[in-house]
Homo-oligomer: A and B are copies of this chain.
Amino acid sequence: MSEADDFLKVAREARDAAALLGPLPRAPKDAALRMVADALVERSAEIIAANALDVDRARENGTPETMIDRLSLNEDRVRAIAAAVREVAELPDPVGEVVRGGTLPNGLELRQLRVPLGVVGIIYEGRPNVTVDGAALCLKSGNAVLLRGSSSAFESNTALVRVMRDALADTQVPAGAVQLVPGITRDSVKHLLKARGLVDVLIPRGGASLIQSVVEESTVPVIETGVGNCHVYVDADADLDMALHILLNAKVQRPSVCNAAETLLVHASVADAFLPRALAALAEAGVTVHGDARVAALSDAVVPADEEDYRTEYVSLDIAAAVVDSLDEAVAHIRAYGSGHTDAIVTRSQGAARRFVALVDSAAVAVNASTRFTDGGEFGFGAEIGISTQKLHARGPMGLPELTSTKWVYTGEGHLRTSTGTVIAPAGS
């Protein structure tokens, strides 16, 4: 069979599994998730052995140690992955929730119910834990999942999926609900991108270039996730001590994540008071500042910034910086260069906060708080499939409800629609 045929077979199995999984109530889904968690722990030696093959090959290819670390599994990490599956089992089931409802004036009972999306495709990079996290969140929300991980984690992902599917064999959840996209060539992902009608939504998780290519090539609806060019704007009325703490927390606490700050904007009226302290503190934390002329004038250590710096998600100990003459100029900068993830204002002014919140068009706006709080866990969702930076369907951290659609159900007693209103059909035999 060709790779295209292999893909079709897998996708159709996923569709069939979705039709069986979708109507299942919570208890059998949770039971299946606990079976999966148990199996992951019981068969951890097998998983770690498969992972070792990926790690060895990555080392041979000269992969940097930070990437090797992301890829590597050990006993503790497999236990943590299993624990995350058990946590998903504890979360409320979004499926069946009545979102809106009531009785219409004509007596029709109308309800809008949450239902699964159907088949979800997840395309992701190095970390094997996404294979299990993604599968668990999809199962809990009643969706079948097609997983397309990095070829660098192929052996690990194959083992993880084998263990999960074996565990599902003794449950009401069909094993077809969890599948790897066959093939590891760059072409094999194309079948997934063109599977409109078989796959209901694609979620790319990873770097900007992965996400961009999925968005451009897919005919399946995509939920864009995660590129975070986040801003911290220090307003004319900011508490400068608070601003310094928020800036450092947003930039330094975990620079590799999408809700870390990438650009500092400072109102001109506090630039002289704030920037020298900020530059010194950032330098001490090992951060390179890429600044405009007004920032660069304050320190020789500042690297001159160009347009590209303001567009860049560094995900490193680098930050772009600029002085703005007004809150509106800060907003215009964020609208022009930002990625619509999270932008923060530090201010004591209620009016400034209100205007910033109204004008900044991003998934999240933080007032006197670090950008680092834009996170499904912090928001109390209990789990997160990613952070959407698009406006359709889901925006910001996506939990279980964001993995659902809705269905309208209306119930009558022979309700007919006429040009003058509703008529009830006469009762029969």
- A-side residues, CB < 8 A to B, are 19, 22-23, 104-105, 108, 110, 112, 115, 117-118, 196, 200-201, 215-216, 219, 221, 223, 239-242, 245-246, 249, 253, 335, 353, 357-359, 361-370, 372-374, 378-380, 390-393, 395-397, 405-419, 425-429
Q: What are 30 inter-chain pairs, A to B, with CB distance below 8 A?
A: A19-B361, A110-B379, A112-B396, A115-B361, A118-B361, A196-B215, A239-B414, A239-B427, A239-B429, A241-B427, A245-B416, A246-B414, A246-B416, A249-B416, A357-B409, A361-B407, A363-B408, A364-B408, A365-B407, A365-B408, A367-B412, A368-B414, A369-B410, A372-B417, A373-B410, A373-B417, A378-B417, A391-B405, A392-B393, A396-B408
Are A241 and B364 in contact, with the CB atoms below 8 A?
no
Are B361 and A415 in contact, with the CB atoms below 8 A?
no
Chain B residues near A405 (CB, 8 Å)? 391-392, 395
Are A245 and B425 in contact, with the CB atoms below 8 A?
yes
Chain B residues near A104 (CB, 8 Å)? 378-380
Are B253 and A364 in contact, with the CB atoms below 8 A?
no
Known contacts A117-B391, A221-B392: A410-B240 contact under CB 8 Å: no
**Partner pick for A417 among B335, B370, B393, B414, CB 8 A cutoff:** B370
Chain B residues near A379 (CB, 8 Å)? 104, 110, 408
Interchain nearest-CB distance for A25 vs B (Å): 10
Are B361 and A414 in contact, with the CB atoms below 8 A?
no
Chain B residues near A357 (CB, 8 Å)? 409
Chain B residues near A240 (CB, 8 Å)? 428-429
Q: How many angstroms from the CA of A61 to the CA of B425 in the assembled complex? A: 45
Known contacts A22-B361, A361-B118, A429-B241: A417-B367 contact under CB 8 Å: no
**Partner pick for A242 among B370, B395, B428, CB 8 A cutoff:** B428
Q: How many angstroms from the CA of A286 to the CA of B361 in the assembled complex? A: 54
Are B412 and A369 in contact, with the CB atoms below 8 A?
yes
Q: How many angstroms from the CA of A108 to the CA of B375 in the assembled complex? A: 13
**Partner pick for A353 among B406, B411, B415, CB 8 A cutoff:** B411
Q: Given A117-B391, A240-B428, A364-B407, 6 other A-B contacts at CB below 8 A?
A: A117-B392, A200-B391, A201-B392, A239-B428, A246-B414, A363-B407
Q: How many angstroms from the CA of A196 to the CA of B240 in the assembled complex? A: 39
Are B245 and A366 in contact, with the CB atoms below 8 A?
no
Known contacts A363-B407, A428-B241: A393-B396 contact under CB 8 Å: no
Chain B residues near A219 (CB, 8 Å)? 215-216
**Partner pick for A369 among B392, B407, B411, CB 8 A cutoff:** B411
Chain B residues near A378 (CB, 8 Å)? 104, 108, 417
Chain B residues near A22 (CB, 8 Å)? 361
Are B365 and A414 in contact, with the CB atoms below 8 A?
no
Q: How many angstroms from the CA of A115 to the CA of B392 in the assembled complex? A: 11
Nearest chain B residue, comparing its CB with the CB of A220? B392
Known contacts A357-B409, A427-B239: A373-B249 contact under CB 8 Å: no
Q: How many angstroms from the CA of A196 to the CA of B242 in the assembled complex? A: 38
Interchain nearest-CB distance for A235 vs B (Å): 14
Interchain nearest-CB distance for A19 vs B (Å): 7
Q: How many angstroms from the CA of A407 to the CA of B418 in the assembled complex? A: 41
Are B246 and A369 in contact, with the CB atoms below 8 A?
no
Q: Which 9 A-B pairs have the closest CB atoms?
A: A241-B428, A369-B412, A245-B425, A391-B405, A369-B415, A372-B417, A249-B416, A393-B393, A367-B411
Chain B residues near A407 (CB, 8 Å)? 361-365, 395-396
Q: How many angstroms from the CA of A240 to the CA of B427 in the assembled complex? A: 9
Nearest chain B residue, comparing its CB with the CB of A406? B395
Are A373 and B415 in contact, with the CB atoms below 8 A?
yes
**Partner pick for A201 among B118, B366, B391, CB 8 A cutoff:** B391
**Partner pick for A374 among B245, B335, B408, CB 8 A cutoff:** B408
Q: How many angstroms from the CA of A416 to the CA of B22 in the assembled complex? A: 40
Nearest chain B residue, comparing its CB with the CB of A426? B241
Are A413 and B368 in contact, with the CB atoms below 8 A?
yes
Q: How many angstroms from the CA of A200 to the CA of B61 in the assembled complex? A: 41
